[in-house]
Structure 1
């Protein structure tokens, strides 16, 4: 399980709230996997996480565009890369019906990526957003 207190905080509260929601969704899936939930239940939880992630990234990208964030393309590229990777993992899991595929990705790869991404790209982005919002 991801300990929310260990997730870095950024200078824009809206982003922190979205990150907390994402951690909750990830922890829910981990709980389902640990308790051998039926594939249908895991599938619903995975779809919720995927939808949330798409919305999370789209909102963040909209904010970056509104303030003309200089590193928009680089940040968006990283979002696109992770979404594509996540979709491939889901497809692989659905085809092979092997929970270890999903478990490895969502309990190891994504938490590590999330921490790194928030610590770097999101921290800089949030500072820029916070400064820009003060000027409005």
Structure 2
């Protein structure tokens, strides 16, 4: 079974936030963690804003299996409810959904993504 990691959860691994320790503990205890290559771009952009070295981000990204979104991912993301879901979050959700029966759930802290995942009957975990 696979857990899909959203950027909001990944950033907890490389920053000091309230949930960072719980996220790191959860992450160390799981070995099948995937995300989309979207995570790579989002993490580097966020890291630049936060003053985090790209080397630190790249090292952390090496621990996640990244998959390339297909054209179907983009097509499906454009049609996911709710209308308040941002495009990048819709792409993450569509990428997670493509995993199919092997998807255990999504690890995320973003409220809109969590709401959309629940609406799609996908388990969401936010270590606290």
Q: Name the larger-Rg structure.
A: 1
TM superposition score normalised by structure 1: 0.28
- In terms of fraction of residues, the more strand-rich structure is 2
Structure 2 length-normalised TM: 0.29
Larger RCO (CA under 8 A, 6+ residues apart)? 1
